[in-house]
Structure 1
Amino acid sequence: MQVFNVQGMTCAHCVRAVTDAIQGQDPSAQVQVDLAKGEVKVQSQLAAERVVGLIEEEGYTAMHAQQAL
């Protein structure tokens, strides 16, 4: 499970946009968004840099925070 800090997410539309962007590249990816924390947890085969790029393409600022077990 990879964890990303994401700025700019405020609503359900933001959650859907981020989730769809990641699952568009990895349909089996599991995505958990916590708006209050500004955090996105991703279980995917995609590299962290690719996930950050996908989130940023949606208009948010993202940074790989940590890799959780």
Structure 2
Amino acid sequence: MSNDATLAFTVSDMTCGHCAKTITNAVLASYPSAKIDIDLASKRVSIANAGDRAAVASVIEAEGYSPADA
């Protein structure tokens, strides 16, 4: 499922550029047309053109991170 809504998560255990890249790659693997914006300083991940919130959160969780609604 794809939509135009932007999903926002706070990922408190995202601590470095490697973490950001891992999350980006995982989301793009499931949602190739997703637009991802990561602000490492605020630990915020914004994703447009992806699935529903629960499905995207599951993708991030599968990489070992803990996304929370932002």
Indicate the TM-score class for this superposition, using the shorter chain for normalisation: 0.7 to 0.9
More strand, by proportion: 1
Q: Which runs of 4+ in 1 moved over 4 A?
A: none
* 1:36 CA drift (Å): 1.0
Q: What CA deviation, in whole Å up to 9, does each residue of 1:1-50 have, x standing for no partner? A: 11111121111111110001100011110111111111100002311101
TM-score, reference length from structure 2 = 0.85
Aligned length: 65
Consecutive unaligned residues of structure 2, counting only runs of 5 or more, are 1-5
Distance 2:50 2:7 in 1: 10
RMSD, matched Cα: 1.0
**Please, what TM-score do these two structures have when normalized by structure 1?**
0.86
